[in-house]
Chains A and B, each alone.
Chain A
Amino acid sequence: MRSRALVALVRQNLSRSRRSFALSVFGISVGIASLAFFLALSAGVRQVVLGKVFPIGQLEVVPSRSSVEGPIGLFSGFSGPKPLTEEAARTLSSRPEVKAAFRRVKMAFPARAWGGQEILGKNFYTELVAEGVDPAAMADESLGPEAFADNLGSHNRCNADAECASGEYCPWDTHACERPVPAVISPFIVELYNGTLATQTGLPKIGKFLAGRLRGIVFNIELGRSFIGASKSSVEPHQRKVMLVGISPHAAQLALTVPLGYVQAWNRQYAPGSPPLSSLVLEVKEGASVTSLTAAVRGMGYDIADSGAERAGLAITLVTLLFALVSFAMVSIAAINIAHSFFRTVAERRRELGVMRSIGASSSDVRRLVLAEAAVIGLCGGVIGLVTARLFAFVIDAASRRWVPDFPFKPDTYFSFGWTLLALALGCSILACMLGAFWPARAAARLEPTEALTS
């Protein structure tokens, strides 16, 4: 039998029993719609969570915490976690699994910041949480107007700003001309600000436009002094200027990020004895073994910071699995329903199938005919199901944009309908229908023509 003839016969049969065709299509489309909907939802949420909230493909090496916890640490008189040294950082950076390594150090003393009048309309005042990051980490970012580098400025002796070159100022403690400290913030901070602070206080949100204007704004920080309570620092507080040079995913998530050397120098001054490095970010080469790298890190007495990405990924996977199971159950019920209706159809058409056999249909022709009808039902059900899922997703996205208040990382869409998902849902639909029709098709094919004719 030619495929053309098959198509003609299937069309003739399906258009005769429109009602049962529509019912079967409806049944399978409900299951496929729910399957596609939940898979797209999970893919979309995964993209946001793993792509934006938690960066992937990197490990953060931190001093081991477990070495001080528990009685063994106490009995052995261990005074604290093994600090991360420059030497250890170099050793780890040169491992074959590592594509790039960036050192980090947390600012280990209180500080405060104020400024922002020219962009936000009023000054903000805040405690300053800052972290020093290897300038190399920002090498790929397009930042400006100042470079993200250590130790900027001519360091000419001065008594007032006017004595310094343009773009420089004269700190009154060092009397050496400096350029403002370049600083970068993470997209996470922008999201937090947009999602919570801006929404609640009516401050303008930072979109693409404002993000551009943020660059180059200068604000003041005061090292060694806090808004909260009295300064405990024995060292006299000093003021510095800071210039925002951009937003980068390589910045520390919840801190103002400045070049490493600044923080190391400040720490030596305001918090002597604090560790020179607080963590080391390792970007793993594609395809390299994370396991062996992790083992090496542990072997040197350090830990890997838990970013939460693994747990978040696992949670998403579990929830997806649950909904996918429910959807599969729906698809299975549809398949059973199709099996039932096809058994009935085959019984009803027994005589007709006998006639076809008598004029030249082989038993495999009959089987193909029944299976092809099921495949068409699967195809229609799959397409309708996918369209339905897409519509639902569209409605939910629109409703979310309109009625759900902003929250950090609120995405434009919660769904991701990739090509693999479309192919998967369609394949699943067709397969389920053909599986349902398998036994009826077999029964129809096994019928001897004479039996079918004399029934």
Chain B
Amino acid sequence: MIRLESVEKRYDSQPVLRGVSLSVEAGELLSLVGRSGSGKSTLLHIMGGLDRRYAGKASVLGHDLHALEDAALARFRNREVGFIFQSFNLLDHLTARENVALPSYFADAAAADVARRAAEALDRVGIGDKADARPSALSGGQKQRVAIARALVHQPKLLLCDEPTGNLDSDTGQQIIELFRTLNKDGLTLVIVTHEERVSSVASRVLRLVDGRLAS
């Protein structure tokens, strides 16, 4: 599902990733841990096709990410992976429903499909009743659910999460973790960057990043 071979990344001659090789199989719930600044987000962005300026080989869901054109890479992000961020990254001027529908704007979907899919995704994360609320009227946990619904709207096979519980209190965080477990049981592959032991404890595998290298 994910295959990285000696992936390297540097910012102005400052190495961040120094040859990361890993492979993730379908159905895994992988947890990626490491100190702040160790390159976890950088690695996740490479896997998700958000960053193409790396050396080495990254193959995700059968695509060599270096080989994809901008439009093809956009389609890959749109259909095949979902992204979850620590700070939710919802658009404040849109309602929950509109936020969830946003990925469909960049796909060739019919309007009726867009509305149906958005409603389904919101129901799936248990927040169908907040469809018309704007992010400012939602709690942190609710916001993260909207963000997860948005990531799931095109039913991707892979979900990449960057500290999804970092901005949530422990109870809410726990609920989100439960949601991830349910999604994983339904067949979704997840890579979760986290500081939290609780996340790691439900993971099928934990990888540690130390100074830009994987430590087993």
What residues make up the interface of A, taking CB atoms closer than 8 Å to B? 1-2, 4-6, 8-9, 12, 16, 351-352, 354-365, 448-450, 453-454
CB distance from B27 to the nearest CB of A (A): 24
CA of A2 to CA of B104 in the docked complex: distance in angstroms? Answer: 10
Secondary structure at the B interface, as helix, strand, loop or mixed, is: helix
B56-64, B105-113, B200-208 - interface stretch: B105-113
B85 contacts which chain A residues (CB < 8 A)?
Answer: 453
Give the one of A12, A352, A360 with max B CB within 10 A: A360
**A449-B79 contact, Cβ under 8 Å, with A1-B105, A12-B98, A16-B93:** no
Residues of chain B contacted by A359 (CB below 8 angstroms): 77-78, 83, 102-103, 106, 150-151
**Residues of B close to A5: CB separation below 8 A:** 104-106
A453 with B89: CB separation less than 8 A: yes
Q: Say if the beta carbon of B10 comes within 8 Å of chain A.
A: no
Most buried by B among A1, A5, A354, A359: A359
Instruction: Verify A361–B74 contact, CB threshold 8 A.
Output: yes
The 6 closest A-B pairs by CB, nearest first: A360-B78, A362-B74, A5-B105, A360-B106, A450-B51, A449-B50
Contact A358 B48 (CB under 8 A): yes
Contact-residue bracket for chain B: 35 or more
Which B residues touch A449, using CB under 8 A?
A: 45, 50-51, 77
Instruction: Assess A362 versus B50: contact at CB under 8 Å? Given A4-B111, A450-B45.
Output: no
Kindly provide the distance from the CB of B136 to the nearest chain A CB, expressed in whole angstroms: 13
Q: Is the CB of B71 within 8 A of A2?
A: no
Those of B47-97 within 8 Å (CB) of chain A: 48, 50-53, 70-71, 73-75, 77-79, 83, 85, 89, 91, 93-94
Chain B residues with CB below 8 A from A453, complex form? 45, 50, 85, 89
- When distances are taken between beta carbons in the complex, the residues of chain A under 8 Å from B83 are 358-359
Inter-chain CA distance A357–B48, complex, in Å, is: 11
Q: Distance in Å from the Cβ of B111 to the closest Cβ of chain A?
A: 6
Q: Is the CB of B74 within 8 A of A357?
A: yes
In the bound complex, what is the Cα–Cα distance between A1 and B109 (angstroms)?
A: 9
In-complex Cβ contact of A360 among B41, B51, B94, B107 (8 A): B107
